């Protein structure tokens, strides 16, 4: 009997296989983009506040040269109910304003940061060559690159080239003229 048990094949071990899961592996897809400034640092430097603060993160910045900022566009943005209810599109003037805010970060002195925003202020002095290339809709990430072209320190006037991208597509571009107003004026 012992010989018969030894001669009998051992029962086969069946390994359970996990069913195939469709789509990409989600791990790593939500990696944070590089961040030079988070929203707290931005709010310490820019005087803008909700609902008009249009920069969520700064990816790169070299003060006095250029900055790359990011705006996450969501259906919860306050302009979508009226622009347009049937087809929400980010207003072009707000894309230009978002570029100007990134441009302000290029111009403003980080040493002047405080909890209530910097005491320095900047304003539009001109907008030239604005072109809108594609609509920006909820779910898009608007990446704005603003480069300082020329700075007249005596008058506090800066010329900047701004571009907005969604992915690889150019959404908006403009040449911005900004003026820094000295503290207390």
Find the catalytic residue in 44, 83, 134, 161.
Answer: 83
Long-range pairs of 146-154 with CB within 8 A, sequence gap ≥ 24: 146/66, 146/67, 146/68, 146/69, 146/99, 146/102, 146/103, 146/106, 146/176, 147/65, 147/66, 148/64, 148/65, 148/66, 148/103, 148/106, 148/107, 149/175, 151/64, 151/107
Can 48 be counted among the known catalytic residues?
A: no
Give the residue numbers annotated as catalytic, written as ranges.
Answer: 83
């Amino acid at each position: 009997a012992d010989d018969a048990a030894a001669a009998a094949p051992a029962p086969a071990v069946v390994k359970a296989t996990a069913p195939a899961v469709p789509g990409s592996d989600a791990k790593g897809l939500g990696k944070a983009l590089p961040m030079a400034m988070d929203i707290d640092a931005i709010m310490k430097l820019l005087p803008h506040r909700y609902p008009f603060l249009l920069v969520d993160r700064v990816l790169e910045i070299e003060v006095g040269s250029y900055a790359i900022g990011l705006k996450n566009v969501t259906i919860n943005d306050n302009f979508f109910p009226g622009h347009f209810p049937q087809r929400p599109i980010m207003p072009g003037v707000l894309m230009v304003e978002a570029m100007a805010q990134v441009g302000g970060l290029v111009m403003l002195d980080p040493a002047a940061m405080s909890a209530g925003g910097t005491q320095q202020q900047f304003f539009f002095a001109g907008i030239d060559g604005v072109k809108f290339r594609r609509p920006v809709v909820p779910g898009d990430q608007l990446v704005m690159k603003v480069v300082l072209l020329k700075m007249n320190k005596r008058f506090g006037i800066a010329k900047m080239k701004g571009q907005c991208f969604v992915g690889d597509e150019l959404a908006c571009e403009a040449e911005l003229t900004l003026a820094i107003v000295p503290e207390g004026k």
